[in-house]
A and B are shown apart, each in its own frame.
Chain A
Amino acid sequence: MTKPIAISLAVNGEPVEALVRPRQHLADFLRDTLGLTGTHIGCEHGVCGACSVRLDGDVVRGCLVLAVQADGAQVETIEGASDSGELASLQHAFAARNALQCGYCTPGMLLNAAELLARNPSPSRDDIRQHLSGNYCRCTGYQAIVDAVEAAARAGAGGAP
């Protein structure tokens, strides 16, 4: 068995120090070591987007970043982004438009939608579909999600970090 490696990073603004095995990916570290279970795990090979988190401000796949690679980084999960209030209007739009059913995909959808609105405050429906193309939803059929992001954009929801 390989040697664990010491890492120190900030998660949702809080300093974290831990020993991690190199093979552990960031999504497992957040869930199993830190108990931040809002980051979900679907495919573990980059296709579903359920594991989305922010790494130094960029949305990335938590399953395709090793926890050791996050040494020295700022990580933000759905818990942090939700608690700060920055996602509130997207969250309201998702609820109002029935853009979630089981909710498994929702944390990833919200973080990716917020990234889109931060860059492009008035995206077309095509822009929204393209930006969320890497996030799978097995329940809603996507239409309601595109509606919700469009509604949040109209309401001026841009304004992720």
Chain B
Amino acid sequence: MKAPDFDYVRVRSLDEALAALAAHGEGARILAGGQSLVPALNLRLLAPEILVDIGGIADLSGIALADGTIRIGAMTRHADLERSPEIARHVPLLARAVREIGHPAIRNRGTIGGSLAHADPASELPACVLALEARIVARGPSGERTIAASDFFRGLYETALGPDEILVRIEIPAAAAGERFAFHELARRHGDYAMAGIAALARDTGAATLRIAYFGIGSRPMLAAGAAAALRDHGASEAGAAAAVRALGADLEPQSDLQASAALRMHLAGVLLRRALKDLFPDAAGGREEEIA
């Protein structure tokens, strides 16, 4: 199908972008990589008055390390993350996860800012930034504000960003010595959105700092705080793993759709948790993998 009619402006600076948003209000949409927005336009799911293309703002893309923090500009493409030596070294979870986003041609255009702002519950990067305790920096008419990833995702395609705000960068604590991560997703074909996925991170060798985030399960990416607490209490043993899987029942709100039922998703969440624990704590019995029934 063909997109409906709309106007278009390519802005050269953030100030110009904010002015365009202010002038057009709810009728304006930011265009980043277009890999979610243009399909929605072509399918006529959206009918904005004007697209504000931020692809020409040079200082919105790039990856920099300073003071133990990795800063990633909103317009940094998935393909840039995939090939960045800084990301591979300092945020290896992101380097691993980004390879599962769609296909190479999608990664050549799609951006991290677009993925987070779009907030598809089946997307990889929102769950990763939750596990990583990232900070999301937005700029609006009254300046910049920083939003913790755990406060950012509000619901289905819904974030803490206001209609007059632009996501400008993501700040992530660089990996510490001994840090480990696990990442798994289950999709019907390579490149498809996940039916269920997990991104987990331990900042040291024990379970004390473990953060477990899920995607593709509910209406937004979610932290499994109860499961992480069970592992802290019981350790990464078989008892700990069993308690953590039980705790998922209270942590997650799985949804049914054409891809999978809520019950299947809950089962897969447990399977993914055991796989993740096996990666994180290879010596503990709790990592025993449960077969998909």
Would you give the shortest CB distance from B108 to chain A, in whole angstroms? 4
In the bound complex, how far is the Cα of B42 from the Cα of A133, in angstroms? Answer: 22
Q: Which of A58-66, A83-91, A96-104, A145-153 contacts B (4 or more CB under 8 A)?
A: A58-66
* Cβ–Cβ contact B3 & A46, under 8 A: no
Known: A5-B8, A63-B42, A64-B34. A46 touches B190 (CB 8 A): no
Known: A5-B8, A49-B103, A66-B34. A59 touches B1 (CB 8 A): no
User: Which residues of B are found within 8 Å of A135, using beta-carbon distances?
Assistant: 103
User: Which residues of B are found within 8 Å of A134, using beta-carbon distances?
Assistant: 102-106, 191
The 8 Å CB contact of A46, one of B1, B2, B8, B39, is: B39
User: Which residues of B are found within 8 Å of A64, using beta-carbon distances?
Assistant: 34-35, 38-39, 106, 109
Name the CB-closest residue of B to A72. Answer: B56
Task: Count how many pairs of residues, one from A and one from B, have CB atoms less than 8 Å apart in the complex.
Answer: 97
* Cβ–Cβ contact A46 & B104, under 8 A: no
Residue among B31, B43, B79, B109 with most chain A CB within 10 A: B109
Segment 133-167 of B: residues with Cβ below 8 Å from A: none
Known: A23-B2, A23-B41, A133-B191. A60 touches B8 (CB 8 A): no
* Cβ–Cβ contact B7 & A130, under 8 A: no
User: What is the 8 Å Cβ interface bit string for chain B, positions 1-17, against chain A (1 contact, 0 not)?
Assistant: 11111111010000000
In the bound complex, how far is the Cα of B10 from the Cα of A116, in angstroms? Answer: 31
Segment 80-125 of B: residues with Cβ below 8 Å from A: 102-106, 108-109
Name the CB-closest residue of A to B43. Answer: A45
A: interface residue count bin: 35 or more
B interface size (C-beta, 8 A): 31
Segment 52-81 of A: residues with Cβ below 8 Å from B: 52, 55, 58-61, 63-66, 68-69, 71
* Cβ–Cβ contact B8 & A22, under 8 A: yes
User: What is the 8 Å Cβ interface bit string for chain B, positions 40-58, against chain A (1 contact, 0 not)?
Assistant: 0111000000010101000
In the bound complex, how far is the Cα of B105 from the Cα of A1, in angstroms? Answer: 31
* Cβ–Cβ contact B105 & A2, under 8 A: no
The 8 Å CB contact of A2, one of B6, B35, B43, B191, is: B6
Would you give the shortest CB distance from A27 to chain B, in whole angstroms? 11
Would you give the shortest CB distance from A19 to chain B, in whole angstroms? 13
Would you give the shortest CB distance from A20 to chain B, in whole angstroms? 9
Would you give the shortest CB distance from A47 to chain B, in whole angstroms? 8
User: Which residues of B are found within 8 Å of A66, using beta-carbon distances?
Assistant: 8, 31, 34, 38, 51
In the bound complex, how far is the Cα of B190 from the Cα of A93, in angstroms? Answer: 25
User: Which residues of B are found within 8 Å of A131, using beta-carbon distances?
Assistant: 103-104
Name the CB-closest residue of B to A21. Answer: B5
User: Which residues of B are found within 8 Å of A22, using beta-carbon distances?
Assistant: 5-8, 51
User: Which residues of B are found within 8 Å of A45, using beta-carbon distances?
Assistant: 39, 42-43
* Cβ–Cβ contact B105 & A49, under 8 A: yes
Would you give the shortest CB distance from A25 to chain B, in whole angstroms? 7
In the bound complex, how far is the Cα of B41 from the Cα of A100, in angstroms? Answer: 32
In the bound complex, how far is the Cα of B103 from the Cα of A112, in angstroms? Answer: 10
Known: A46-B39, A134-B191. A1 touches B102 (CB 8 A): no
Name the CB-closest residue of B to A108. Answer: B105
The 8 Å CB contact of A23, one of B4, B103, B109, B190, is: B4
* Cβ–Cβ contact B104 & A115, under 8 A: yes
What are 6 pairs between A and B in contact, CB < 8 Å? A23-B5, A23-B41, A25-B3, A28-B2, A45-B42, A61-B35
Q: What is A's interface to B at a CB cutoff of 8 Å?
A: 1-3, 5, 21-23, 25, 28, 44-46, 49, 52, 55, 58-61, 63-66, 68-69, 71, 112, 115-116, 129-131, 133-135
